[in-house]
Chain A
Amino acid sequence: MSNPLQAAYYADDAQQVDAKITENRLLARETFLVRLVAPEIASRVVPGQFVMIRIHGLDDPLIGRALAVYDVHSGAAGEPEAIDLVYIRKGKLTRYLAGAAVGSVVTVWGPLGNGFAPDPCEHLIMVAGGIGQTPFVAVAKEALGHQRFGQRQTGWAKRVSLVYGARSADLLAGLDDFAAAGVDLQLCTDDGTRGRKALVPTVLEEVLQQSLQNTSAAAIRVLCCGPEIMMEKASEVAAACGVRCEVSMETPMACGIGICFSCVAKVRQSDGDWDYKRTCVEGPVFPAEKLCWE
């Protein structure tokens, strides 16, 4: 059950548009950045929100796919004009998208979901595994005051770190963008080809311990995006240090706008019981302690 009227959980900002591809390039192994002209979405989206994307007229793949907004690109007049999405070539839609020519058109609707809140802190630690780094370039740019998204405030964090793990070095995508934004990079790979040969939660623990030497736990925030098992472990690490932690869930979605009830996750209620909540409208970002990990 999921009562949508218990809070303002509606995709009221969302617009459905046919967007032209102006760029579609390789960023890392099997990882691409696509730029879509969609001023209606670009001017509204905030970090951590996502869009649904579909190839109009195709019956297979049929259903839209959720992709996090990686960045917003401004036009000559300085107005938000296009959105960048970063995707890993995996199945039906992403294979099609990787072959889509510049100039071709896709259907997108968004911005969707709640995004990460711009709550001020001294040290913001973003934790990503696999393709989970995609929302964090925008988060870092906003938090460090380099870019405004929607009508939100900027410059709400003093320092930003990214703990980012992938199977191997050639899958780490967007490192230049993070470095350009002034993010402290803490990389790790399963095979040790780049950064530490360690798991993300282990690296997070070290980063947190170090941060706690000169920063109070209350002034640190941890944001996670990636495989659920990684987020569960990372949130345990944060909780053990008394640090606030939020996670971005990636449940299978069919609409992105709250009408299908596919995307549910078990979320703890104030009475201690749990309820299925739609991650597309009530998330995808949740306080880690609210989730009942499966």
Chain B
Amino acid sequence: MASLSVSLNRLQLKNPILVASGTFGYAREMEGIVDCARLGGILPKTITAEPREGNAPWRTVEVSAGLLNSIGLDNDGVDAFIAHHLPYLSQVETAIIVSVAGRTEAEYVALSQRIGECQGVAAVELNLSCPNVSGGVDFGTDAEACRRVVAAARAACPVPILAKLTPNVTRITEVAAAAADGGADAVCLINTLLGMAVDWRQQRPLLGNVMGGLSGPAIKPVALRCVHQVRCATDVPIIGIGGIATIDDVMEFLVAGASAVQIGTANYYDPQVSTRLIDQLPGALAELRADSVEQVVGSLQLPR
């Protein structure tokens, strides 16, 4: 049986199939449907320093092969997370990677430190890319701000740091290189693409927040392109995200250079997808005659 484990600098995962932040609740919701301990890792919904009620409905709208969302980081804040959600999460036998978002560098640092010091947290993912939160510096689009926040969070946080980046930039390679420079153990590519939907009869936007993030199969080619570009530009390990729903999707991301993947929107429309993909992974590796996941990571052959 092929080895499924992967390592991303200081972070070790038992397999490369993770579930993306905001698409798996706080894991407890899935207990009856998914055997969460089988996952390579779980990223609970992004937390912020203070509670946020989130955006007005509608918060999601389906579009062709995709979903637009403007949830607005609806969460109860870090205190409630530590009191109510972490006790459950930390007893699930998999890597718990806590996603945090701040308005300022100091907020990112404080959240990373506090969460990183909690029992049962394998890593912290800095959500540097949420298009639904305005205010403050845009850490996902300004390479230097990105480098600084990653470096500061890394210095304060005892566990590995991942940087989740937005595709809504001109050159993702520059932001990814800056995150690597700041000491990110891995970069997570990609968050949602900014989009919009219009009801022309009512002459109004469909999302309560007017614009929102596009996810699902529609964005997979963009995500693969980002993974490929970053793979070519730096050696930082990559976690691929974007439209992954089938084993073919998983293999495409691994071959393109991702060491692991996160399943997002597919959890909504096929709740058992993540563990099914873990079942299917050995068979797909065997097709490439690979005895480990790491053997296929970045094995893409470019035309001469």
Question: Which residues of A line the B interface, CB within 8 A?
Answer: 1-5, 10-16, 54, 56, 59-64, 92, 107, 109, 251-252, 254-255, 257-265, 275-276, 281
Residue of B nearest to A259 (CB): B25
Report Cα–Cα, A107/B54, bound state, in Å: 30
Q: Are A109 and B65 in contact (CB under 8 A)?
A: no
Residue of B nearest to A275 (CB): B53
Which B residues touch A12, using CB under 8 A?
A: 31-32
Given A16-B271, A54-B270, also A11-B60 (CB < 8 A): no
Report Cα–Cα, A261/B73, bound state, in Å: 9
Contact of A257 among B52, B74, B271 (CB under 8 A): B271
Q: Are A251 and B57 in contact (CB under 8 A)?
A: yes
Report Cα–Cα, A59/B272, bound state, in Å: 17
Q: Are A63 and B269 in contact (CB under 8 A)?
A: yes
Q: Are B69 and A109 in contact (CB under 8 A)?
A: no
Given A3-B76, A11-B32, A59-B65, also A262-B71 (CB < 8 A): yes
Which B residues touch A275, using CB under 8 A?
A: 53
Q: Are B65 and A62 in contact (CB under 8 A)?
A: yes
Residue of B nearest to A10 (CB): B29
Residue of A nearest to B66 (CB): A62
Q: Are A276 and B74 in contact (CB under 8 A)?
A: yes
Given A5-B85, A64-B269, A260-B268, also A252-B31 (CB < 8 A): no
Contact of A62 among B45, B54, B84, B269 (CB under 8 A): B269
- Name the residue in B22, B57, B69, B267 with the highest tally of chain A Cβ atoms < 10 Å from its Cβ: B57
Which B residues touch A13, using CB under 8 A?
A: 32
Report Cα–Cα, A264/B45, bound state, in Å: 16
B33 contacts the other chain (CB 8 A): yes
Residue of A nearest to B70 (CB): A262
Given A11-B32, A16-B33, A62-B67, also A255-B217 (CB < 8 A): no
Report Cα–Cα, A100/B192, bound state, in Å: 33
Report Cα–Cα, A258/B67, bound state, in Å: 17
Secondary structure dominating the interface of B = loop
- Name the residue in A59, A64, A92 with the highest tally of chain B Cβ atoms < 10 Å from its Cβ: A59
11 more CB-based (< 8 A) A-B contacts, given A1-B74, A255-B268, A260-B71: A10-B28, A54-B270, A59-B64, A59-B217, A62-B65, A62-B265, A63-B269, A255-B271, A259-B268, A262-B69, A262-B71
Given A1-B74, A62-B62, A63-B62, also A259-B69 (CB < 8 A): no
Which B residues touch A257, using CB under 8 A?
A: 25, 29-30, 33, 271
Task: Count B interface residues, CB 8 Å.
Answer: 44
Question: Which residues of B line the A interface, CB within 8 A?
Answer: 22-26, 28-33, 45, 51-54, 57-62, 64-67, 69, 71, 74-77, 80, 84-85, 216-217, 265, 267-272
Closest 6 CB pairs of A and B: A259-B25, A255-B268, A262-B60, A59-B65, A5-B84, A12-B32
Report Cα–Cα, A251/B59, bound state, in Å: 10
B44, chain A: closest CB distance, angstroms:
10
A151, chain B: closest CB distance, angstroms:
17
Can you report 5 residue pairs joining A to B where beta carbons are below 8 Å apart? A1-B53, A63-B62, A109-B271, A261-B54, A276-B54
Residue of A nearest to B50 (CB): A1
Report Cα–Cα, A190/B237, bound state, in Å: 62
Q: Are A259 and B267 in contact (CB under 8 A)?
A: yes
Report Cα–Cα, A92/B65, bound state, in Å: 12
Q: Are A255 and B267 in contact (CB under 8 A)?
A: yes
B43, chain A: closest CB distance, angstroms:
12
Report Cα–Cα, A22/B229, bound state, in Å: 49
Report Cα–Cα, A217/B28, bound state, in Å: 40
Which A residues touch B69, using CB under 8 A?
A: 254, 260, 262
Given A60-B64, A261-B54, also A1-B75 (CB < 8 A): yes
Contact of A4 among B28, B33, B52 (CB under 8 A): B28
Which A residues touch B31, using CB under 8 A?
A: 10, 12
Residue of A nearest to B217 (CB): A59
